[in-house]
């Protein structure tokens, strides 16, 4: 059996309201709830609800042979509870099929691992608890924020009891190897590593509607043929992407839902091909080799490194500022203060400060609610200054 493993990331950040220097000391209300609600409801209407209905239809149509996985961050779960409970209910319906695996990550979609292993573990445990509470599953597979990974991440994840970890199949960590096999991290004894096939994943997530792409239009038949061509050079084809690909990044008018509707049938028609969740693939396949990854890798931008969040002095200053508050925040034992601090850790805040351009510029502009990275930095620092003031009492 050659597995096609589909994993979808579901995340929305808690956006900060416009917070000026003159607000410092006068208002400790930081989030733009109207914006959060509007975006969540828009994406639910365009993506989450129609995509979930289609996924449920496909699972039922193929009698459980179509199997998928999701990771919903704590922030998006909170927003669904507040602004679109029907969306959360639709994910619960998927969970009840027995054909969907829910993964764990940091609750706040944070960069905590890079700054505090203790905070990282606290957020992961909290996320595991909410996934079990909402979907009745204890996660066995982990994905770090933005697929940030190296040997050290693998060691921590294995210590926390996970059996499977997913990461980016970047060329610089694979060399001549293929991402279409199960690997084992160099420092691990049992943990298995699944790597994203970024070419096939990005064909759907980024290139699907690009009329200048030599392969446009992409059909389910064509994509299934590409998957079939991997026979003999792999045991698992890992298609990992943002769930917002369906209906939000790639609008319904592009034909993305028709593509998704037809793909499982085309894959299942291939001899010896089928779908599996990350845990199922991990249980079924043995690692072909150890993989040594001393340097950090992620799934962001063309470099697939950390520069989307730690690429300039503004980002470094903001990150060091918020994580320097860990000890005094935790010593307060004040739930509201701790929650506010964690909300300020969400990786999106630092992504908005990115000054990279050329190949990645359009991507950063699409997701950035600020007029410039400098505006994002100033706004964040104003909020952080007020938070630190509140912390001191």
Around Cβ 81, how many Cβ atoms within 10 Å?
A: 12
Q: Domain boundary residue among 262, 291, 320? A: 291
Tell me the C-alpha distance between 273 and 126, whole Å.
36
Q: What does DSSP assign to residue 180?
A: S
pLDDT, tens only, 228-283:
999 999 999 999 999 999 999 999 999 999 999 999 999 999 999 999 999 999 99
Residues 32 and 124 in one domain: yes
Taking residues 315-321, report their average pLDDT. 98
Best CA proximity match to 239, nearest among 223, 218, 254: 223
Return mean pLDDT, the chain.
95
Residues 203 and 241 in one domain: yes
Taking residues 345-374, report their average pLDDT. 77
Q: Is 146 considered catalytic here?
A: yes
- Judged by DSSP in three states, 250 sits in strand
pLDDT of residue 392: 84
Q: Domain boundary residue among 248, 265, 291? A: 291
Query: Which domain range does residue 351 map to?
Result: 307-392
Taking residues 326-355, report their average pLDDT. 96
Taking residues 151-158, report their average pLDDT. 98
pLDDT of residue 162: 98
Q: Do residues 9 and 243 make contact, with C-beta atoms less than 8 angstroms apart? A: yes
Number of structural domains in the chain: 2
Give me the residues paired with residue 321 across strands: none
Residues 159 and 284 in one domain: yes
Residue 34 is assigned to a structural domain of this protein: yes
pLDDT of residue 366: 54
194: domain CATH number? 3.20.110.20
Share of the chain above pLDDT 90, in %: 94
Residue 339 is assigned to a structural domain of this protein: yes
| DSSP structure string for 255-280 | THHHHHHHHHHHHHTSTTEEE--HHH
| DSSP structure string for 53-73 | HHHHHHHHHTTT---EEEEE-
Residues 20 and 89 in one domain: yes
Residues 108 and 219 in one domain: yes
Residue 300 is assigned to a structural domain of this protein: no
The answer on pLDDT for 379 being more than 80 is yes
Residues 52 and 128 in one domain: yes
Residue 111 is assigned to a structural domain of this protein: yes
Residues 274 and 350 in one domain: no
Residues 347 and 269 in one domain: no
The answer on pLDDT for 141 being more than 50 is yes
pLDDT, tens only, 6-46:
999 999 999 999 999 999 999 889 999 999 999 999 999 99
Query: The pTM is what?
Result: 0.96
The answer on pLDDT for 92 being more than 70 is yes
Q: What does DSSP assign to residue 207?
A: S
Pairing of β 2-10 and β 100-102: unpaired
Residue 219 is assigned to a structural domain of this protein: yes
Residues 213 and 322 in one domain: no
Tell me the C-alpha distance between 207 and 211, whole Å.
8
The answer on pLDDT for 361 being more than 70 is no
Three-state SS for 354-389 is CCCCHHHHHHHHHHCCCCCHHHHHHHHHHHHHHHHH
pLDDT of residue 302: 84
Residues 260 and 319 in one domain: no
Residue 307: HSE in the Cβ half-sphere, 13 Å Cα cutoff: 10
Catalytic residue among 101, 105, 119, 146: 146
Residue 298 is assigned to a structural domain of this protein: no
Confidence of residue 357 (pLDDT cuts 50, 70, 90): low
294, 295, 299, 302: CA torsion to nearest 10: -140
Residues 127 and 228 in one domain: yes
pLDDT of residue 362: 53
The answer on pLDDT for 177 being more than 70 is yes
The answer on pLDDT for 364 being more than 80 is no
pLDDT of residue 27: 86
Residue 375 is assigned to a structural domain of this protein: yes
Q: Domain boundary residue among 240, 265, 291? A: 291
Residues 215 and 93 in one domain: yes
Residue 97: HSE in the Cβ half-sphere, 13 Å Cα cutoff: 25
Confidence of residue 301 (pLDDT cuts 50, 70, 90): confident
Residue 299 is assigned to a structural domain of this protein: no
The answer on pLDDT for 358 being more than 50 is no
Taking residues 52-76, report their average pLDDT. 98
Strand positions, DSSP E, the chain: 2-10, 68-72, 100-102, 141-143, 164-168, 184-185, 192-196, 236-242, 273-275, 290-291
């Amino acid at each position: 059996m050659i597995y096609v493993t589909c994993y979808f990331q579901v995340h929305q950040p808690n956006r900060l309201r416009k917070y000026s220097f003159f607000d410092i000391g006068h208002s400790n209300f930081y989030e733009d709830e109207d914006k959060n609600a509007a975006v969540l409801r828009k994406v639910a209407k365009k993506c989450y609800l129609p995509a979930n209905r289609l996924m449920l239809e496909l699972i039922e149509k193929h009698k459980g042979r179509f199997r998928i996985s999701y990771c919903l961050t704590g922030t998006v779960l909170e927003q669904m509870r507040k602004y679109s409970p029907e969306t959360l209910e639709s994910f619960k319906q998927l969970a009840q099929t027995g054909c969907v695996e829910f993964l764990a990550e940091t609750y706040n979609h944070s960069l905590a691992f890079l700054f505090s292993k203790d905070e990282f573990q606290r957020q992961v445990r909290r996320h595991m608890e909410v996934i079990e509470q909402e979907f009745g599953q204890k996660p066995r597979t982990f994905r770090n924020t933005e697929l940030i990974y190296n040997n050290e991440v693998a060691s921590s994840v294995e210590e926390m009891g996970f059996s499977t970890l997913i990461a980016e199949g970047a060329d610089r960590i694979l060399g001549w190897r293929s991402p279409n096999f199960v690997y084992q991290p160099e420092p691990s004894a049992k943990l298995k590593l699944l790597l994203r096939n970024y070419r096939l994943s990005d064909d759907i997530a980024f290139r699907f509607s690009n009329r200048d792409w030599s392969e446009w239009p992409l059909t389910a038949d064509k994509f299934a043929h590409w998957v079939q061509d991997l026979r003999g050079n792999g045991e698992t084809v890992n298609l990992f992407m943002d769930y917002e690909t369906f209906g939000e990044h790639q609008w319904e008018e592009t034909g993305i839902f028709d593509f998704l509707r037809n793909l499982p049938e085309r894959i299942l028609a291939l001899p010896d091909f089928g779908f599996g969740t990350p845990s199922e693939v991990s249980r079924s396949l043995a690692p072909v080799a150890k993989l040594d990854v001393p340097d950090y890798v992620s799934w962001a931008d063309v470099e697939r490194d950390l520069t989307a969040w730690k690429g300039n002095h503004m980002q470094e200053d903001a990150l060091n500022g918020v994580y320097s508050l860990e000890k005094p925040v935790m010593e307060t034992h004040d739930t509201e203060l701790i929650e506010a601090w964690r909300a300020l850790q969400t990786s999106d805040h630092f992504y908005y400060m990115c000054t990279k351009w050329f190949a990645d510029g359009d991507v950063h502009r699409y997701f950035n609610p600020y007029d410039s990275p400098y505006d994002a930095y100033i706004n964040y620092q104003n909020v952080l200054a007020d938070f630190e003031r509140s912390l001191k009492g």
